[in-house]
């Protein structure tokens, strides 16, 4: 039967190798952790408002880190205390680091999933003028619309086909036909329903 020190050493080596492999895979672009995917996925027993939704429990990085630090913690604890106390300290350290990395990985995946709303995604959508849009060439006004589930307000100018000299008043429904640049939309007036 292997000694407790051998078990802790095995856990430290296997967990450490997995952590190193994950890190090298990320550096050379071998993809991302299979368990670190879409942050919008919520487990079967976990609601989005649950405190548990802050953790990515299936993260390979978190599991590998927990295993590695259980081994390292056990090896260090064996120098100071006896067998059962060393196991308790090792498991405490491993679980704590597993939870920490699971929390961090969920944060990273949420950042990854939180794509910025780009003006090009607004092309073809309807909007409402929130600040009157001056005649073509006289500067932008502002429109409000929902893009990607978010309510946003962007500067907007009239299209080339607009009536020369005409302004578009606040509250007028418009359609986005182009994104003039990365911050300004080009719109045309929609006919108001009668």
The average pLDDT across 158-171 equals 83
Looking at the whole model, is its pTM more than 0.75? no
- Tell me, what's the pLDDT at 45? 41
Q: How is residue 35 written in tokens? A: 């368990």
Render pLDDT for 43-78 as a digit per residue (tens, 0 to 9). 434 444 455 555 666 778 888 889 999 999 999 999
φ, ψ dihedrals at 79, nearest 5°: -70, -25
- Tell me, what's the pLDDT at 96? 93
Q: Which of 132, 182, 194 has its CA nearest to residue 157?
A: 132
Render pLDDT for 119-164 as a digit per residue (tens, 0 to 9). 777 888 899 999 998 888 788 899 999 887 778 888 998 888 777 7
Render pLDDT for 107-122 as a digit per residue (tens, 0 to 9). 776 665 555 667 777 8
- The whole-angstrom separation of Cα 176 and Cα 167 is 16
Question: How high does pLDDT run on average in the chain?
Answer: 78
CATH architecture of 119-189: Beta Barrel (2.40)
Domain ranges of the chain: 4-113, 119-189
Residue 21: alpha-carbon gap to chain centroid: 23
- Of all residues in the chain, what percent carry a pLDDT higher than 70? 77
pLDDT at 182 over 90: no
């Amino acid at each position: 039967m292997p000694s407790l020190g051998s078990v802790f050493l095995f856990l430290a080596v296997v967990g450490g190798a997995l952590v190193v492999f994950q890190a090298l895979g990320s550096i050379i672009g071998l993809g991302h952790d299979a368990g670190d995917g879409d942050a919008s996925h919520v487990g079967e027993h976990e609601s989005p408002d649950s405190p548990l939704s802050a953790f990515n429990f299936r993260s390979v990085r978190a599991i590998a880190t927990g295993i590695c630090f259980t081994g390292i913690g056990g090896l260090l604890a064996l120098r100071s205390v006896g067998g059962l106390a060393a196991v308790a300290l090792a498991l405490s350290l491993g679980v704590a680091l597993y939870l920490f990395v699971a929390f961090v990985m969920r944060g990273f995946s949420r950042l990854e999933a939180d794509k910025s709303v780009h003006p090009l995604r607004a092309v073809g959508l309807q909007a409402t003028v929130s600040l009157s849009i001056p005649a073509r060439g006289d500067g932008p006004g502002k429109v409000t619309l929902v893009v990607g589930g978010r309510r946003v307000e962007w500067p907007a100018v009239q299209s080339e086909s607009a009536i020369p000299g005409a302004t578009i008043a606040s509250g007028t429904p418009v359609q986005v036909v182009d994104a003039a640049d990365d911050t300004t939309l080009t719109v045309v007036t929609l006919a108001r329903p009668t």
